[in-house]
Amino acid sequence: MYTLEKHQILFEAKKIRKVFGPTVAVDDVDLTIYAGEVRGLIGENGSGKSTISSIIAGMQKPNSGSMQFKGKTYNPVNMIEGGQLGIGMIVQEKGTVPGITIAQNIFLGSENQFKKYGLINKKAMNQAAKQVLENIGINDVDPNQVIDILDMQDQKLVEVAKVMNQNPDILIVDETTTALSHRGRDIIYGILERMRKEGKSVVFISHDLQETMEHCDALTVLRDGKLIATVEKEDMEENQIKQYMVGREVSGHYYRADNKASYEDQVILDIDKLTTGKGLLLNFSAQLHKGEILGIGGLSHCGMHELGRAVFGEEHIVTGSVTHVPSGEKIENAQVAVKHQMGYVSKNRDSEALVLTANIRDNIVGAGYDQVSQKFGYISPKDEAEYVNRMVEALDIKCASIDQDVKYLSGGNKQKVVFGKWLGRDSKILILDCPTRGVDIGVKAAMYQLMEEMKAKGASILLISEELTELIGMSDRLIIIKDGKISGEITRGEEMTENNVIDLLI
Amino acid sequence: MKKKKSINITSYVPYIGLALTVIVFAIITEGKTISGINLKILTNQIIVTALVAIGAVYAFASGALDLSLSGSVALSAIAGVVIGLRYESFMVMIVTTIIVSFLIALFKGVVAAYLKLPIFIVTIVFGGILSAIGLVLLGKETTLSVRSLVNVSNMTWINITFVAVFYLFALYIFNYTKIGKSCKLQGGNLLAASQLGINAKKNIIIAFLVGGIGVALAAIIILLQTKTATATTGGSVGINIMIAIVLGGMPLSGGPRSKMSAAIIGAVTISVLNNGLAVIGVGTGVVQIVRSVVFLVVVFITSLSYRTKLLPR
């Protein structure tokens, strides 16, 4: 029996290498995890942190390198074996199965323990599931309910409970907290604390540097697939770590420097008494001016995401209208919107904003066929490549070639492709729904700079976001929506503070 | 920035498959399959499959699996013959064939665009209905001859012209215009495509109409070649097209990986296979079994490589 002692080596990876086509995702990384530590794994998008953690969990195999776990060679064929051996992972994506109950989700693949005369004893399973949920501090969920009734955040917590039920020696948490609210985060932090006390280990992956610095005993920084540094808690210094992450010095500011609203009087978009089909947005009116960044904030289900789609003509509306004021035309579908130089960046990047099976070229040029078409609708591959390459260079999209499929790009680079679609055709009105979601600081800074440049050129931006700092940092005016209705509006200046915004939110 | 186009082995697999099929059958039949006479027969078989396949690539690429192609060809041909014989006019026959195939295509397109139904289920049922209407038109006759109307003896040039012109036209639209490019995008992700301002409804109707051209041309070639219309006209077109498209290296689900060359390469491969089996002396029943097994094997292999490509990073 292998007993765990604090500060003993629990897991060791040597020269792990993983290659996807032309991309080296993990480049000969050595990683040692000690018993009783919470290790942060941090790095920009595409730095290889998700790849190496999925290798550790057994989700995929490295091309080369070896792993030792509890003193033995560790080479899991899949996540199930990884879990049985004692390494559990909470994945970044949704990991629950829709259409079955919460209890069935928790015991998926291990139902046999409840078998009696060839049948599953549902009562016993529900009872056990309730216990499993309570173990991580969730008391208000009935495990016999179909999981779909839970929102994204609670489904994530069910996954957490499921993984914890296997009693892992190493728990990998991949970007989970970004999807969670305060309560969910506290549950995760509680688990970190418990694991540490029990002499077990956690690999904690997050974009949020503050969060990782606060909760981790040591931080390992990855960049471009290479391990750059491992920093102990007492040596953690924010700017130093940022510099490790991006490979150059990062200046502190990335939001707008001015503290005063500035836009022209001319109204570009008139949103008039909008009510959406699902009733999430009620009688909403607002005006977007030339050169204005209009922030829209609220809690996740307040109706602001529906607003974004509705303004672009892609959401069923019951009453009201959206008018492109300079032309007087009503925006009734995306075709009209695009005709008037509007662009929409969806919150759901992979499912709505990109054709994942298509390459960078087809995705970017997809919004700009009219820009590259010649006589008889002919599109020359050369013009097309030029158009796309211009965007790849302007946005610094990291790729082997424009013929690379977008599904192999990292989150930040994917988002740049999405922006490239609309910048290529010189959009004058951008509707951005959570544009910096799941992208790293480097890309984030680039996006904010881009917004400022566009604003300076007279473009108008509707910025919908769940991040208050971003809204306060960028907006000329900020409208807060609560339960589908406007709960208040703040103009850039002294009044625009986090406290004032939170007052409107709650 | 590197502009290197990565060389992908998988893009050569269809060509290798074709070459292997040709070689294997040539060896088994001691060269009979590549004799002059057989090549002529083979060409006639390729033409019909190729024409329908070229047109079908559009709907398939847009994400609409059309399983009514047999019925479409059958009804277009039979309707042309029946009306043509009534007016005793070659032109009336041709024009009727064209009109009927376009009406069928338009109907499919509109259903695919406006009714929120899984299109492959609609087309399965619809294909059955079309074949049945064909049978009703034939009435008590099992074979309607149009020898009195058709006066063509050498098909070679007609065949080549039809395929070449239609292929170039389809290739141009597919790869070098907004219509073709956006068809592929909407096949990959309908939601993303419509957020690009692509008119998906219009596209899908156009896709089926291009398919209609293929069906019309194929029906005309069948009438000119066989000078008859029977209950089995066009019968195996549907399954041949499906196999052809897969053998040609295009996913049946369509999307950005769709390619026009799949229609030609696939049509040749499946025709060589059908023809080779016939030359060996295998009965039609066995041909069907072999064809289906080949189809399943290819789909299985392509889905394997698809899965590995979907692994998360």
Residue A141 confidence (pLDDT) above 90: no
Residue A10 confidence (pLDDT) above 70: yes
What are B181-195's pLDDT values in tens digits?
999 999 999 999 999
Check residue A113 and give its pLDDT.
Answer: 87
Contact A432, A343 (CB under 8 A): no
- Smallest CA-to-CA distance from B258 within B64, B73, B114, B109 is with B64
Cβ <8 Å between A366 and B182: yes
Cβ <8 Å between A366 and B257: no
Contact B58, B263 (CB under 8 A): no
Give the residue, A127 or B2, on which the prediction is more confident. Answer: A127
C-alpha pair distances (Å), A455 with each of A382, A461, B312: 31, 8, 36
Strands A38-43 and A201-205 come out as parallel
ipTM: 0.86
> Which residue in A has a C-alpha nearest to residue B171's C-alpha?
A378
Check residue A6 and give its pLDDT.
Answer: 55
What share of chain B in percent tops pLDDT 90? 61
Check residue A192 and give its pLDDT.
Answer: 92
Question: Which amino acid is it at B190?
Answer: L
Strands A115-116 and A119-120 come out as antiparallel
Residue B3 confidence (pLDDT) above 50: no
β-strand partners of A298: A481
Check residue B307 and give its pLDDT.
Answer: 47
User: Looking at the partner chain, which of B1, B4, B188 has a beta carbon nearest the beta carbon of A355?
Assistant: B188
C-alpha pair distances (Å), B46 with each of B1, B74, B150: 44, 17, 21
User: Average of pLDDT values for B291-309?
Assistant: 73
Euclidean distance between CA atoms A355 and B192, whole angstroms: 6
Strands A342-345 and A429-433 come out as parallel
Euclidean distance between CA atoms A277 and A275, whole angstroms: 7
Assigned token pair, A298: 């609220």
Question: Which amino acid is it at A5?
Answer: E
Least reliable range by pLDDT among A160-164, A245-249, A306-310, A347-351: A245-249
Euclidean distance between CA atoms A240 and A231, whole angstroms: 10
Band (pLDDT 50/70/90 cuts) for residue A278 is confident
Handedness of CA B190, B196, B202, B206 (dihedral sign): negative
Number of helices and strands in chain A (H, E): 17, 22
DSSP assigned state of A146: B
B192 interfacial to chain A (CB closer than 8 Å): yes
Cβ <8 Å between B1 and A393: yes
Cβ <8 Å between B195 and A346: yes
Cβ <8 Å between A25 and B181: no
What are A374-389's pLDDT values in tens digits?
888 899 999 999 999 9
C-alpha pair distances (Å), B67 with each of A79, B166, B209, B213: 39, 21, 15, 16
Contact A469, A498 (CB under 8 A): yes
Question: Which amino acid is it at B48?
Answer: V
Residue B305 confidence (pLDDT) above 70: no
Length of chain A, please? 506
Assigned token pair, B216: 């019309």
- Smallest CA-to-CA distance from A460 within A331, A377, A342 is with A342
User: Looking at the partner chain, which of A20, A21, A358 has a beta carbon nearest the beta carbon of B256?
Assistant: A358
Cβ <8 Å between B197 and A389: no
Contact B312, A52 (CB under 8 A): no
User: Looking at the partner chain, which of A351, A359, A379 has a beta carbon nearest the beta carbon of B178?
Assistant: A379
- Smallest CA-to-CA distance from A56 within A28, A37, A38, A83 is with A83
- Residues from chain B that touch A20, judged by Cβ atoms under 8 A, are 313
Least reliable range by pLDDT among A286-300, B40-54, B139-153, B292-306: B292-306
DSSP assigned state of A310: H
- Smallest CA-to-CA distance from A484 within A334, A306, A337, A321 is with A306
Average model confidence (pLDDT) for chain B?
Answer: 89
Assigned token pair, A326: 């300079």
> Which residue in B has a C-alpha nearest to residue A354's C-alpha?
B192
Residue of A369, A431, A432 for testing the chain B interface, max B β-carbons within 10 Å: A369
- Torsion angle defined by CA atoms of residues B206, B212, B218 and B222, in that order, rounded to the nearest 10 degrees: -170
Check residue B167 and give its pLDDT.
Answer: 97
CA of B178, closest CA in chain A: separation in Å?
Answer: 6
- Smallest CA-to-CA distance from A406 within A452, A445, A349 is with A349
Contact A297, A502 (CB under 8 A): no
Residue A255 confidence (pLDDT) above 90: no
Residue of A333, A355, A363, A397 for testing the chain B interface, max B β-carbons within 10 Å: A355
A205 interfacial to chain B (CB closer than 8 Å): no
B253 interfacial to chain A (CB closer than 8 Å): no
- Smallest CA-to-CA distance from A163 within A198, A195, A201, A132 is with A132
- Torsion angle defined by CA atoms of residues A192, A197, A198 and A200, in that order, rounded to the nearest 10 degrees: 50
What are A25-70's pLDDT values in tens digits?
899 999 999 999 999 998 876 788 888 998 999 988 999 999 999 9
CA angle A322, A313, A424 (to 5 degrees): 105
Euclidean distance between CA atoms A270 and A69, whole angstroms: 61
User: Nearest 5°: phi and psi at B162?
Assistant: -55, -50
Give the residue, B115 or A464, on which the prediction is more confident. Answer: A464
DSSP states along A152-211: HHHHHHHHHHHHHHT--SEEEEES-GGG--HHHHHHHHHHHHHHHHTT-EEEEE-S-HHH
- Residues from chain A that touch B184, judged by Cβ atoms under 8 A, are 358, 362
B194 interfacial to chain A (CB closer than 8 Å): yes
Cβ <8 Å between A354 and B178: no
Check residue B308 and give its pLDDT.
Answer: 43
Residue by residue, what is the 3-state secondary structure of A69-136? ECCEECCCCCHHHHHHHCEEEECCCCCCCCCCEHHHHHCCCCHHHHEECCEECHHHHHHHHHHHHHHC
Contact A390, A425 (CB under 8 A): no
User: Nearest 5°: phi and psi at A284?
Assistant: -90, 125
Cβ <8 Å between A60 and B182: no
Contact A20, B313 (CB under 8 A): yes
> Which residue in A has a C-alpha nearest to residue B184's C-alpha?
A358
What share of chain B in percent tops pLDDT 70? 93
Residue B141 confidence (pLDDT) above 60: yes
Contact B77, B222 (CB under 8 A): yes
Contact B298, B243 (CB under 8 A): yes
User: Nearest 5°: phi and psi at A453?
Assistant: -65, -45
Residue A2 confidence (pLDDT) above 60: no
Cβ <8 Å between A59 and B178: no
A393 interfacial to chain B (CB closer than 8 Å): yes
CA of A429, closest CA in chain B: separation in Å?
Answer: 14
A334 interfacial to chain B (CB closer than 8 Å): yes
Check residue B309 and give its pLDDT.
Answer: 43
User: Looking at the partner chain, which of A312, A346, A355 has a beta carbon nearest the beta carbon of B193?
Assistant: A355
